[in-house]
Amino acid sequence: MNKRAFVKTAVAAAALCASGYTMAQQVTLRLHQMLPPQATIPARALIPWAQKVEKESGGKIKVQLFHAMQLGGTPPQLFDQAKDGIVDLTWTVLGYTPGRFNKAEVFELPFMTTTAEASSKAFQEYVEKYDMDEFKDVKLICVHTHGPGLFHTKEPVTSMDSLRGMKIRGGSRIINNMLTKLGATPVGMPVPAVTEALSKGVIDGTTIPWEVTPALKVSQLVHNHTTFAGKYGLYTQTFAFAMNKASYEKLPADLKKVIDDNSGMVAAAMFGKAMDDGDKVGHDIAVKAGNKIVALDVAETQRWRRTAGVVESDWVAEMKGKGIDGAKLAAEARALVEKYSK
């Protein structure tokens, strides 16, 4: 081999080694979630989070997103998909697995939460202080809530009396208990099932925040939306963005730091703000469509507060039976929501 050929071969070999080194250093994390990519959380939180992690890792982390349950299973199985390492990351609704996240349920109690960003910060601090044991099987990226909960119905809900007998979708056992107390007939189902259930008449309405209504075409399927007086929403749901523990632990220190820098309070605030921004979009679509938006006054809202308050008493009594001081946790949750809502 002449000198020139040798140099060319050596350079090619070095380039191949360098390429192999780079490839060896890159980690691909598979992220699985239930909603279409244009929905609020994928579009405004999960995709931006993935892009931020990729950039801050210098390209060493690649996040591969799988939307709308592309990898199989059902929404209630998502948390375990992360726990069991079927995928590396999942985003899911905690209320889809009843009885599993007992202490987290406190944020779903009626009139507990305000805006999504404030309530998500409060929920994140609450979990870090009182509830990490329920998330011990995963590397928790963050928890969050949605904004003030409301009704979207075929017939207008102008008072508690007009809600009676309506079949209303609820997203968790706490919300279903609240619906029962308010006189509705609760129908439990994950949020992706709402569109078909409304179109086929399985339900008369649904409890979801404004932000998810565009992705589910709710403002086209129903034309009435009922909101409440004051800064507190009737209900919320709780969410978790979780990572498989082994997937996290095998990362080198510099890449663990990238994940850590994009976890906790900073991520909770990001997801909460995404929900608040999405609420404005969903609300504006309903207004533009000419839908009827019922704003219950203070007196009627107080009536709902009194009736729905029984849900909290039920929850506190149930938690006591499990050795959990529900009254103390409810007080702590309220104080944290108030702290971040100022």
Three-state SS for the chain is CCHHHHHHHHHHHHHHHHHHHHHHHCEEEEEECCCCCCCHHHHHHHHHHHHHHHHHCCCCEEEEEECCCCCCCCHHHHHHHHHCCCCCEEEEEHHHCCCCCCHHHHHHCCCCCCCHHHHHHHHHHHHHHHHHHHHCCEEEEEEEECCCCEEEECCCCCCHHHHCCCEEEECCHHHHHHHHHCCCEEEECCHHHHHHHHHCCCCCEEEECHHHHHHHCHHHHCCEEEECCCCCCCCCCEEEEEEEHHHHHCCCHHHHHHHHHCCCHHHHHHHHHHHHHHHHHHHHHHHHCCCEEEECCHHHHHHHHHHHHHHHHHHHHHHHHCCCCHHHHHHHHHHHHHHHHC
Separation in Å, CA 71 to CA 74, 76, 163: 10, 14, 38
pTM: 0.93
The reported pLDDT for the residue numbered 12 is 45
Cα–Cα dist 183/206, whole Å? 14
Contact by Cβ (8 Å): 243, 187: no
Sign of the CA dihedral running 82, 86, 88, 89: negative
The reported pLDDT for the residue numbered 9 is 43
- Domain limits, CATH 3.40.190.170, in the chain: 28-147+236-278, 150-235+281-323
Computed on alpha carbons and rounded to an integer, the radius of gyration of the chain in Å comes to 23
Convert 208-223 to b/e letters by CB count within 10 Å (16 or more is b). bbbbbbbbbebbbbbb
Residue closest to 278 by CA, chosen among 213, 195, 194, 337: 213
Read off φ and ψ for residue 243, nearest 5 degrees: -125, 145
212-215 long-range Cβ contacts below 8 angstroms, 24+ apart: 212/35, 212/39, 212/40, 212/146, 212/278, 212/282, 213/152, 213/282, 213/285, 213/286, 214/38, 214/39, 214/281, 214/282, 214/285, 215/35, 215/36, 215/38, 215/39, 215/40
The reported pLDDT for the residue numbered 2 is 52
The reported pLDDT for the residue numbered 5 is 46
The two tokens of residue 38 are 């244009």
Q: Is the CATH code 3.60.20.10 the one for domain 28-147+236-278?
A: no
Q: Over the chain (342 residues), what is each successive 10-residue block's mean pLDDT? A: 45 41 72 98 98 98 98 98 98 97 98 98 99 98 98 98 98 98 98 98 98 98 98 98 98 98 98 98 98 98 97 98 98 98 96
The reported pLDDT for the residue numbered 118 is 98
Residue closest to 160 by CA, chosen among 311, 48, 309, 305: 305
One-letter identity of residue 95: G
Cα–Cα dist 167/189, whole Å? 12
CATH superfamily ID and name for 150-235+281-323: Bacterial extracellular solute-binding protein, family 7 (3.40.190.170)
Contact by Cβ (8 Å): 225, 293: yes
The reported pLDDT for the residue numbered 25 is 75
